[in-house]
Structure formats: C-alpha cells, structure tokens
Structure 1
Amino acid sequence: MSEKSDQHRSLLENVVDNIVDGEFFDPDLPGILSSFQTEGRIWVLGAGKASFEMAKEAEGYFGSQIKDGMVIAPQSSRELNQVQVFKGAHPYPDDDSVSASYELWELAKKIPEEDTVVFLLSGGASSLFCIPAGGIEIEEYRKTFELLLNSGASIEQINVVRKHLSETAGGRLGQLLKEHKLISIILSDVPGDKPEVIGSGPSVPDPSTFKEAFQILKQFKLWDDVPHSVRIHLSKGMHGDSPETPKPETSNWKKHEVNVISGAGMLAENVGSYLSNQGFNVQVSKEAYHADVKEVSKRICSDAVSILSKKSDMTPPAALVYYGESTVDVKGEGKGGRNQELALNAAISIEGQHSISLLSFATDGIDGPTDAAGAIINSGTTLQARKNKLEPENFLQKNDSYHFHKQMDTMLKTGATGNNLMDLQVILVG
C-alpha cells in the first residue's frame, strides 16, 4: 500500500470512528420533543436499531412524566430507568422478535385514551416489531423476506409485502391507538423519507394494497417460491377476505402527529464539512441514491475518475460523499452485504488509477447478514489481489465479497452503532 493510500485509509477510518461516536449526527431529540404539547402521563413505545438511544433521550426529557414504556432493539443487554428494553432480530425476525412484539402490542392496548403515546421508530423495525399474519409461521415469514432481500427489490417494494404479511405494520399500531394523542418520531433510513416506508410504517396510514404485494412477488418471479401460507394470505386479501391496511383517505386520526428526521442527509453534510476542514475539495450528493449496486458503484467511480482526467470542475485533493441504499440481485452462494459488494465492484472499476480510495459503510454497523460494516478499498486493492492469486471477478460472481475483503484486509468492522442512516460512501481522489 502506498503512503497516499495509507493516509486515505487513516482519514476514512477517522470518518467511521466519528460516526460511531455520534460526532457527525445529533438529531436533537429533546428539541424535537419540545415542539409538541405533551402534558400529563407519557407512554414511550419504540422499535428499531436506534430505539434504545432514542428512548434514553426521551427518558432524559420527560423524566417522571413517563408512566411506562417499551422498545424493541437488536440488543437488550442494556437497561433504561423507565422504559423496558426487549430484544428482537435483524435483518430477519425470529421468535424473540415475535414475543417482544406481542409484549409491546399488549402494553399499547392498555394505555388509557387520555394519556399521550410517544412512538420512536428507526430502521430495522420491520424485523424487530413483527407479528406474522394468521396462518403464517415465523420460518415461512423469514423465508419470504430472505427471497425478497436477495431479489434486487427496493426497500419500498419489500416493505409493501411486509405490510401485508405482518399484523403490526402498515398503520396497524396507529389504528390501535387511533383515539390517543400519538406522537411518532421517525428516524429515516430510506431514500425519500416516506413515513409509510420507514420500518414498514406501524403508526401511519398505508397507501399500498394486497394486490401490489402480489404484483411485487410476481415481478421478481418469487410468487411460486414463497411458502404456500403466504400465497394463501395474500390471495385472501386480494379477494377481500383479509382486512386491508388502514388507508390515508379513511384514517381520520386527528390526534396523531408525525416528525420524520432525515438523518442520512444531515450525516453526509457533516462528513463533508469534516473533510473540507482536512483540506479536501468536497462535493456532497444532493439526494439519496436508490439503484442496483453495480449502477451506484459505476456512478461513484466515474465521478472520481473524471476528476483525475480533468473532465470535472473539481480538482484534487477531492472528496465525494454519497448516501442511500442500493439493491443486490444475489445469484451466488457466497457471503456479503451491499456495502462490501459495492466496494468490490468499485475496486475493480478503479484498478490502476492514481490515488483513489473508497469507503462504503453501513451506518448501523451491520452490512447484510455478516459481522462486517463495509469495506475500505483503493485503486491498488485488486492489483494486489491478483498478485496474491485471487481473482476479484470470481468473488463478485459468487456474491462472496465478504471473503474477498477478509483476505485482502479491506474489511471494516465496527459492531452495531445504534444508528441506522442508510449507507454512506466517501471516495477520496488525490
């Protein structure tokens, strides 16, 4: 590795450390909560990868106003003073998720109508707060979403199906609490920041339908592969034999309020400011990307190479910052996640270029069903791999980016960060 690549890697590791430490993202939850009228008793409910941290801040703000509460998070080893913490699984639900979801649902049912409910939602809630619809076993539900997550479907499409297979999603919690004052604080982890998409929208009305869920499974050629119980349930829904999710036009929930925090954009801007202070000419993407991982990688690498070839207005040293959520159409039997896959694609694309390094990072610290958070590569990564008798293209074909990065020492591991703000890419040039 060259001296410049070493410098780039050190700087990109500093970016990651700052994100993990919360230096680049402070949503000011107390400030947001102060904008709502919250008199009387408060009940705090929540689900998602950031639900523990959000509930901790809510406890600090409301104090003795809190009557009771419960959140479902990926880890339950930590405790709060007034809010119970239950464990669920991600990216696929398990028995813990279902058990915790029943507990939260039963708690919600006993909240008096005169009390206020604060619902704290963040990414990962689709799996953590999940009760499969009647007749669908948890393993059948898991299989359905393993197929969908590997199909190349977008998160919005995946969550349309989730909302019609889970008893908690698609506004059903909102419907349960329709007479209550319900304040939903939603930390977005999806492009577009639509509240009905984030965490499959438990507390907000859902415009999607059973028919759309069916069409998505057909579009990705999964209808014949999903379990029979799933097909039966969706068919019943399309024929009106299972109730639809509550719709925006008929859900007159007058006492409900929603605040969506667009965390990824804020994070990207703060990363850009940090890199500017390090002497880089910086460009931050104006909006979240949402496309196939190969397309995202191609765009990012093209932008970087155009700086070197002087086809861009930017000059080295330059830093480009992107955020969003890519999709991966998994064909191979390997191991990886979309950030590791993006980084491997990029390493092949920039092979032999001068002084380019890239970070691709899952801000929750969990990239796919692996213990990695992403990867840091440079324009010499694949050259070195070939010297080591490794063929990067073979790893890519098998969707085995995890083992490529493990062998090349380009893997990034942080553990769970407690945030979930989409994926972040930073590419340094020169």
Structure 2
Amino acid sequence: MPSKTLEKLRKDARKIFMAGVERVEPARAVKSFVHLEDSTLTVNMREYDLNQIENIYIVGAGKAAAPMALAVEEILGNWINEGLINTKYGHGLSLNRIELKEAGHPLPDEAGMRGAEAMLSLIEKAKDEDLIICLISGGGSALLPLPAQGISLEEKQEATSLLLGCGATIQEINAIRKHISRIKGGRLAEASWPAGLVTLILSDVVGDPLDVIASGPTVPDESTFEDCLAIVKKYKLESKVSPSIRNHLHEGAAGRRQDTPKPGNVCFTRTQNVIIGSNIQAIGASASEARQLGYHPLILSSLIEGETRQVAKVHAAIAKEVIRTGNPITRPACLISGGETTVTLRGEGRGGRNQEFVLAAALEMKDLKMTVILSGGTDGSDGPTDAAGALADGNTIRRSWMKGMDPAAYLDRNDSYNFFLKLGDLLITGPTRTNVMDLRIIILG
C-alpha cells in the first residue's frame, strides 16, 4: 500500500483532474455564452430578436449533448418548438421539450442512424424565418452516423474500426467520416439553409479546428475526396475498406459525386459557430487547483498528439529533469498536459490511450520516490472500458512484480485496463457528460 504521504499525492492528483473536468461542465459552458433577456437572445455578443423568429429547433450530438440541451431548455423554455439530440448510452438526462436518443459510441449503431435521419428531416423543414440551434460535443461524429447513399452502416462501422485501430489521427478519421456521410462536413448547414443556424461547440479536438470537431457538420470543409484516398493508402487500407466505400471515394475524386460544401458556399452566410469549452480551459483550472494545493504547476501543452508510448517517454523525461536538476520547474511540481494521443493496437488486450500512457510512463519512472502519474479522459471514458484512465506512482511497477505480473507484457498486448484493474488503480469517474479530450497530471513531491 502507498505511504500516507504518497497517498496524499494520489488524492491531490484526482482533485487536480476533477477541477479541470468541472471547469468545462456543459451547462456552465452554455450559460457563459448564451443569455436571454425579454425576447432578445444573445449568443457570444450576437443578438437574435426572437419576436422575428417563427420556430426554434434544437438538434445536436455528443457525449455532452444532454446537459447542453438541458441548459438551452432552461434558458429558452417555451421559445423552443421542437428538438432532437443523440448522446452516448448512459449519458442521457430528462428533458422537457427536446427529444433525446441514446446511441453507440465510439462505434456508431442503428439507434444513432435513426436519430441522425430524424434530425436531418427536422432541419430540412426549417424556413427562412426559423432558427436552428445545434449542440456539438465530443463523440458527435460517431453519434451522427448517416452514411452516404450506397454505403451501409455496417460498412461505415467497419471503416471506423479500421481507422481507430491503425493509428490514424482524429483529423484523418473525420476526413473519411465526412466524405461517407450525408450530414457531416458542412452538410448539416447545407440542409438547414435558408434558416439561421447557431452551433454551440464543446471542443474535443487538438487546437479546436471547427471543421474537425464532430466532423464539422456546420462549417466549411476543406478536405477532399483525394485527401481521403491518400489516408486510405497511407495506412494500407485499400484492400480492407468495403468496395462500396472505396468506389464512393474514387467516384468523388473523379468528380462524379458532389464534394462537401467549401468556404464561400451560400449555406454558411447565416451560421454562427461558438466554441464554449476547450482543453486549455480545463488545463487552466487544473493548474489553479494544483497551485492552491501547494504545487508549482507547469502547463506543458494542450496540443499534444502522437503515439501514446512516445508521449509517455517525453513526459517521463521532463519529470526526471525536474527531479534531477530542478528544471524547468522546482518541486513540489505538477506537470499538466492535454490533447489526445493515439494507440497503435499490437495485441488483443483491453485498455485506452490514457491507461496505456500511465502504464508506459510508470515503466519509465519506476522507483522514483514521491511521484504520481494520472491520465484521464474528461468524458469519464477511455477506450472501450468503464474507466476514465488510470493512476500510478513510483511503486506501481514494483507492486505489480510482487503480484507476479509482467508490466511490459501487459503494455505489449495493449492490456493496460487489466493491469490497473488487478492493482486497484483504475480511474473511475462514471460519465461526466462533458468531453474536451484528455488531462495528464504528473506530481513530483
């Protein structure tokens, strides 16, 4: 068991993590940017006269869609005429004026497709004098599955699984998703024209690019069919994706299918896109909490991408430098980073990028005294597991050896979940109903 002093560091790591999560709580984020006074709706300083609007429709998708919708209901009340959102199973809430459907994530399913189809039908009936408010958050891409004509949901699911497993970035995955969809890549905005369209976005993508978050359903798309073919070739998926998807992409590249709407398209002239929450906001709140707990916080970056194991090595190297030389910060220190890494699957184990990060970092930092490593998804979910991430310290590897476990073997087969399950070191938060990617915290006492 950890010493009492080490246990305090572990508790502090959890507090620092949760402070970041709480900062981007969806309802709080919505109400920071959306206000109603009499009949004037203000969204990020832009005003809408509701007396001039005939109907207000609410649509959206994501793991934070339910609390975002609840906040919109509390603000607009009876001004809302109709609404429909998709969210992940287990992430729903009771709503009054907006219909909620739970669906599959990270792999899309039939429930998500039915919800997306119903949303598109709702959007398409909107007229010039109507206003559509779209709520987008992490997981929105998988929760808006509406395959292009000739492509089945099963084929899209298979393509998503291939992309998730080959190490493709979220940007690359979403480029493919947009071009095999009837609703992504600006097509939601295309369908909503000529109605007004306001999109509130809780960003789960590094750097907050609007065209990538949830595959950019309400913004111009600069990726092309040619880009998609290059991604398929890069990861050697030509013989693995279904013939219908492969043919669809080739026909698009040849100009025989309409590409996604690009910048300058008329459908974007009445749109407003507002980022209401992001990873750097969560990191800032974590840094403030660390400072209050007596640590010297150092924000490394909110833009970290790359292979999880390599990212873990870099973090471990920085931690060792702090311990050895007091650079770039002195102890007691708290290193904080965000972003979203990728895992290349090599084995048949169970886990997620945050659990894999902690295991890889723990191996690099074994026997370092008074050190704690935590990495977690702000949505409370890490890969196809019930854990948000994991927690380790300088004794973790030694504890595993005493139990007869081989931590390097667990890492080799991508089985970080079962490694930390046996040690009782999984980070379990349950669904947080928000998502701004990951938070990584290394405490050096």
Pairwise TM-score range, normalised by the shorter structure: over 0.9
Map residues 191-210 of structure 1 onto 2, 5 A cutoff: 191-210=206-225
Structure 1 residue ranges, 4+ long, deviating more than 4 angstroms after superposition: 16-20, 23-27
SS of residue matched to 1:37? strand
Residue 311 of structure 1 and its aligned partner are, at CA, apart by: 4.6
Matching of residue 64 in structure 1 with residue 74 in structure 2: no
Which residue pairs with 1:140 in the alignment?
155
TM-score, normalized by length of structure 1? 0.96
Q: Call closer, same or farther: CA 1:12–1:139 in 2, change over 3 Å.
A: same
Q: Which runs of 5+ in 1 are unaligned?
A: none
SS of residue matched to 1:186? strand
Residue 252 of structure 1 and its aligned partner are, at CA, apart by: 5.3
Q: Call closer, same or farther: CA 1:195–1:77 in 2, change over 3 Å.
A: closer
Render the CA deviation track for 1:40-99: whole Å, top value 9, x for unaligned.
332111111111111111111112211111111114753211111111210010111111
Q: Distance in 1 between matches of 2:312 and 2:181?
A: 34
Q: Distance in 2 between matches of 1:183 and 1:25?
A: 20
Render the CA deviation track for 1:168-224: whole Å, top value 9, x for unaligned.
110000101121111111111111101110000111110001111111011011121
CA contact (8 A) 2:20 2:283 kept: no
Q: Which amino acid aligns with 2:70?
A: K
Tell me the percent identity.
34
Render the CA deviation track for 1:354-403: whole Å, top value 9, x for unaligned.
21101100111110111111000111101111121111110111111111
Matching of residue 314 in structure 1 with residue 329 in structure 2: yes
Which residue pairs with 1:117 in the alignment?
132
Q: Distance in 1 between matches of 2:306 and 2:94?
A: 38
Q: 1:238 aligns with which of 230, 237, 253?
A: 253
Residue 3 of structure 1 and its aligned partner are, at CA, apart by: 2.6
Q: Distance in 2 between matches of 1:147 and 1:14?
A: 36
Q: 1:353 aligns with which of 368, 389, 402?
A: 368
Q: Distance in 1 between matches of 2:315 and 2:240?
A: 35
Q: Call closer, same or farther: CA 1:219–1:169 in 2, change over 3 Å.
A: same
Residue 16 of structure 1 and its aligned partner are, at CA, apart by: 4.2
Q: Which runs of 5+ in 2 are unaligned?
A: 35-41
SS of residue matched to 1:285? strand
Q: Distance in 1 between matches of 2:426 and 2:32?
A: 37
Render the CA deviation track for 1:109-135: whole Å, top value 9, x for unaligned.
122220111111111011111111122
SS of residue matched to 1:128? coil
Q: Distance in 2 between matches of 1:46 and 1:330?
A: 31
Matching of residue 292 in structure 1 with residue 307 in structure 2: yes
CA contact (8 A) 2:24 2:277 kept: no
Which residue pairs with 1:48 in the alignment?
62
CA contact (8 A) 2:66 2:100 kept: yes
Larger RCO of the pair (alpha carbons < 8 Å, separation 6+): 2
Q: 1:37 aligns with which of 47, 61, 66?
A: 47
Which residue pairs with 2:38 in the alignment?
none
TM-score, normalized by length of structure 2? 0.93
Q: How much is the aligned-residue C-alpha RMSD, in angstroms?
A: 1.6
Q: Distance in 2 between matches of 1:109 and 1:217?
A: 32
Q: Distance in 1 between matches of 2:71 and 2:267?
A: 30
CA contact (8 A) 1:24 1:270 kept: no
Q: 1:375 aligns with which of 380, 390, 393?
A: 390
